[in-house]
């Protein structure tokens, strides 16, 4: 048995995450990927990027400190390779490239700014064999702070993907108008046949948290009815109450509502009644991409 360690750094619009995986190689057995550590830091780059089109000095300083910490953690864990990807917040900031250069000089971490198409492709490379069945269709929905990636699966394989500028941080700041929602609706409805059995696979920190709040067991999907009721329940509470009474983190208590809205609309437009929550996402796809490359 050989145990190797790989890491993925996901620099999103709402938070920055470090995932460290044990990659277990054994003769005559498939390679196994086991999560070893996940660290999440709420550096909300999206508010700078989407409102001011530039990353502020304060956010840059926090990002540099985060990357320096991640570099030390990867050394302590003995990580042999890492991949760091930045999504919509940095790719839309005017000084995104400059930020990447300053982070590299200060921490030694090389960041790749990826476009929506590559982001969707990496997400689609995650291992979904335990969920996907060949006799039905699936809509994979990965909700981030700045964008949402949609992928249709048919016959057990990804068929088409698209990234839309609909994300939780954008919605919170009233930066998503009705025309963008209409574009998403049309894209989904044009790909769903009337007689198809379709289910949603949800990805991202918000749907993971919602699944935990539901009390359902691992592998048990959420229903559209439950999610709709939970959305209205959360929406009826003040921000402070969602923190004090429900125990939500400060940077989760606001974005969980727009995230729920995105999943509900995707389910409504696709006519899906179930939402599977495998708790995998971009970082998991990055680990697989890094290993197989």
With a cut of 80, say whether residue 127 has pLDDT above it: no
Q: Band of the pLDDT at 276, cuts 50, 70, 90?
A: very high
Q: Which two tokens stand for residue 167?
A: 């994300």
For the four alpha carbons of 49, 55, 58 and 64, in that order, the dihedral sign comes to positive
How high is the pLDDT of residue 119?
85
With a cut of 90, say whether residue 218 has pLDDT above it: no
Question: In whole angstroms, what is the distance from residue 138 CA to residue 154 CA?
Answer: 7
What are the residue ranges spanned by the domains of the chain? 2-116+283-292, 128-277
**Beta carbons within 8 Å of 29's beta carbon, 6+ residues apart:** none
Cβ 127 vs Cβ 142: under 8 Å:
no
CATH 3.30.420.150 is held by the domain 128-277: yes
Mean pLDDT of 165-180: 95
CA dihedral 282, 267, 228, 235 (to 10 degrees): 60
| pLDDT single digits (tens) 223-243 | 999 999 999 999 999 999 999
What is the distance, to the nearest Å, from the Cα of residue 20 to the centroid of all Cα atoms in its chain? Answer: 16
How high is the pLDDT of residue 122?
86
Beta bridge mates, 232: none
Q: Is 121 helix (H, G, I), strand (E, B) or coil?
A: helix
Report CA-CA distances (Å) from 88 to 37, 48, 92, 261. Answer: 25, 12, 6, 20
Question: In whole angstroms, what is the distance from residue 265 CA to residue 224 CA?
Answer: 10
How high is the pLDDT of residue 256?
97
Domains 2-116+283-292 and 128-277 share a fold: yes
Mean pLDDT of 110-119: 91
pLDDT averaged over the chain? Answer: 93
| pLDDT single digits (tens) 63-110 | 999 999 999 999 999 999 999 999 999 999 999 999 999 999 999 999
How high is the pLDDT of residue 170?
95
Residue with token string 């990447």: 100
Superfamily of domain 2-116+283-292: ATPase, nucleotide binding domain (3.30.420.40)
Q: pTM value?
A: 0.89
């Amino acid at each position: 048995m050989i145990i190797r360690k790989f890491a993925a750094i996901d620099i999103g619009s709402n938070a920055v995450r470090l995932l460290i995986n044990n990659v277990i190689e054994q003769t005559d057995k498939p390679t196994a990927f086991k999560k070893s550590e996940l660290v999440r830091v709420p550096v909300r780059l999206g508010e700078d990027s989407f409102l001011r089109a530039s990353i502020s000095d304060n956010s840059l300083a926090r990002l540099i400190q985060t990357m320096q910490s991640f570099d030390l953690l990867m050394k302590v864990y003995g990580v042999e390779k890492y991949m760091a990807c930045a999504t919509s917040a940095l790719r839309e900031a005017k000084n995104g490239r400059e930020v990447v250069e300053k982070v590299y000089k200060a921490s030694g971490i090389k960041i790749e700014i990826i476009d929506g198409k590559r982001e969707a492709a990496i997400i689609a490379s995650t291992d979904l064999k335990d969920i996907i069945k060949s006799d039905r269709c699936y809509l994979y929905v990965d909700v981030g702070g700045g964008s949402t990636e949609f992928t249709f699966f048919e016959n057990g394989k990804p068929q088409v993907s698209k990234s839309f500028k609909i994300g939780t941080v954008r919605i919170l700041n009233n930066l998503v108008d009705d025309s963008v929602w209409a574009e998403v609706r049309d894209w989904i409805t044009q790909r769903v046949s009337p007689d198809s059995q379709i289910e949603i696979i949800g990805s991202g920190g918000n749907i993971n948290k919602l699944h935990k709040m539901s009390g359902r067991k691992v592998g048990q999907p959420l229903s559209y009815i439950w999610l709709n009721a939970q959305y209205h329940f959360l929406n009826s509470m003040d921000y402070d109450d969602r923190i004090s009474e429900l125990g939500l983190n400060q940077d989760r208590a606001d974005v969980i509502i727009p995230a729920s809205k995105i999943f509900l609309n995707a389910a409504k437009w696709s006519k899906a009644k179930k939402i599977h929550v495998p708790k995998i996402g971009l970082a998991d796809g990055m680990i697989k991409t890094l290993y197989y490359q």
